Structure formats: structure tokens, C-alpha cells
């Protein structure tokens, strides 16, 4: 048996919840969670129902035994096993499955959602930078061989085909890479255009010099 126990919320997590209908009225089971809990118990894991329904309700702080019995009866019917019922955390709880809980990174105060979002943005930025770097490296290697229009179009098609094979556009890194690569290619076009302008200008200068010497 594993160390510690797993807390599983009842309403909205293990059982469907569409509003309060009384302390002993429990919704229908949620199949995915039932399957998970059943698997845990078959593996010998310590699972407990963690619910506010088990909180003290009486005038002297006592629990209502009918509520716990109703929950255990529900577990027996839908899980095939009676699970302990509690509303209290202790140091033995290693996990809590609850539709209202927000997972927080230890000692930082940051939610796991915030961390995931930051990691996605960082991956996108890294991919964008990598795409630009690769695109510009291609420019440096190929700039002298792409002055001919037909060769340049072939080169562009080849780069596009290679990009489709290399980049998984569904990932944040892939999307950033693709955008960066496109930006690098756009810079390549502007460089090529300037090269052609300079080439034309040089030809005009040579023609002028030839005219002057004749």
C-alpha cells in the first residue's frame, strides 16, 4: 500500500452536482473519476472522500451520521467499496482531487496555470529566435547564389518544403519557429531586392564610365 492518502472531492468531482438538494442527496457518478478511483483502490492506494458534507452540522459541533452513511452507501453502490469520509486535511494527504482547487507551485504563490502560460510564451520566443537565426543563416549561405529569379524561386520553394517537415506548427516552439523563419525570409527578400538595386546601379555607373571614355 502506498504511503499517504488521496483526497477525492464528492460534489462536482466524483458525483455530478447541479445544486444543493439536501445533505443526503448525491448526484450520479462521473464515469472518468469513478474509473480512476476504482483503479487506485485496486492498486491498494488509500483513498478518502474529502467533502464539506462531512463537516460538523450539529449544535454542539457533532457530525450528522446520516450524511456519512449516505456517502458510504453511494460509494458502495457506485465504487463497489466503502471509502473513509472526511472534511479534514492532515499531513498524510498527498493529493487532493477537487473541481474547485487551484494547483499552486510550492513556495512561490504562482498557480500551475500561470507557470504553464509563462513556459508557453518562453517556448514561443525561443522558437521565434531560432527561426530567425536559421533563416538568416540560410541568407548568408545562399545570397550569392540567388540573384537569378528562377533559382531564387526554386530556393524559396525548397526552404518552404524543408520548413514544413522540420517544424511542428501545433507546438508553441514550432509556431514561434515558423514565424521567426518567415521574418528571416522577409529580411532575405529585402536584402535580395537591395542587391538587385545595387547591381543595376553598378551597371549604370559602368555604362556612364564607358560613355565618358569613348
Q: List the CATH number of the domain containing 83.
A: 3.40.50.1000
With a cut of 70, say whether residue 128 has pLDDT above it: no
Number of structural domains (the chain) is: 2
pLDDT at 169: 46
Query: Is residue 133 located within the same domain as residue 187?
Result: yes
Give pLDDT tens digits for 26-83.
999 999 999 999 999 999 999 999 999 998 875 555 668 899 999 999 999 999 999 9
Query: Is residue 40 located within the same domain as residue 14?
Result: yes
Query: Is residue 23 located within the same domain as residue 90?
Result: yes
Query: Is residue 120 located within the same domain as residue 208?
Result: yes
With a cut of 90, say whether residue 143 has pLDDT above it: no
Last residue of a domain, one of 31, 64, 97: 97
pLDDT at 18: 94
Query: Is residue 92 located within the same domain as residue 139?
Result: no
Q: CA-CA distances (angstroms) from residue 198 to 178, 188, 205?
A: 30, 15, 10
104 found inside a domain: no
Query: In which band, very low, low, confident or very high, does the pLDDT at 118 lie, cut at 50, 70 and 90?
Result: confident
Query: Is residue 117 located within the same domain as residue 176?
Result: yes
pLDDT at 90: 94
Q: In angstroms, rounded to a whole number, what is the distance separating the alpha carbons of residues 131 and 14?
A: 46
Closest CA to 173 of 213, 134, 122: 122
Interacting residues of 126 by C-beta distance below 8 A, sequence separation 6+: 173, 176
Domain span at 161: 112-213
Last residue of a domain, one of 67, 97, 127: 97
Query: Is residue 79 located within the same domain as residue 155?
Result: no
Interacting residues of 148 by C-beta distance below 8 A, sequence separation 6+: none
168 SS3 class: coil
Last residue of a domain, one of 70, 97, 124: 97
With a cut of 90, say whether residue 25 has pLDDT above it: yes
Amino acid at each position: 500500500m502506498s504511503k499517504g492518502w488521496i483526497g477525492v472531492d464528492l460534489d462536482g468531482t466524483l458525483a455530478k452536482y447541479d445544486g444543493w438538494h439536501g445533505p443526503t442527496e448525491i448526484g450520479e457518478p462521473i464515469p472518468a473519476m469513478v474509473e480512476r478511483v476504482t483503479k487506485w483502490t485496486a492498486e491498494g492506494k488509500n483513498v478518502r472522500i474529502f467533502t464539506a458534507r462531512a463537516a460538523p452540522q450539529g449544535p454542539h459541533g457533532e457530525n450528522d451520521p446520516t450524511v456519512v452513511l449516505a456517502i458510504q452507501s453511494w460509494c458502495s453502490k457506485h465504487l463497489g467499496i466503502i471509502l473513509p469520509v472526511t472534511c479534514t486535511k492532515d499531513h498524510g494527504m498527498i493529493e487532493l482531487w477537487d473541481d474547485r482547487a487551484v494547483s499552486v507551485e510550492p513556495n512561490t504563490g504562482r498557480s500551475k496555470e500561470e507557470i504553464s502560460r509563462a513556459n508557453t510564451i518562453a517556448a514561443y520566443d525561443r522558437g521565434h529566435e531560432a527561426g530567425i537565426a536559421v533563416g538568416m543563416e540560410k541568407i548568408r549561405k545562399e545570397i550569392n547564389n540567388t540573384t537569378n529569379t528562377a533559382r531564387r524561386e526554386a530556393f524559396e520553394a525548397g526552404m518552404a518544403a524543408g520548413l514544413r517537415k522540420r517544424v511542428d506548427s501545433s507546438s508553441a516552439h514550432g509556431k514561434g519557429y515558423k514565424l521567426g523563419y518567415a521574418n528571416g525570409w522577409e529580411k532575405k527578400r529585402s536584402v535580395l531586392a537591395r542587391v538587385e538595386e545595387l547591381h543595376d546601379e553598378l551597371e549604370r555607373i559602368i555604362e556612364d564610365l564607358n560613355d565618358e571614355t569613348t
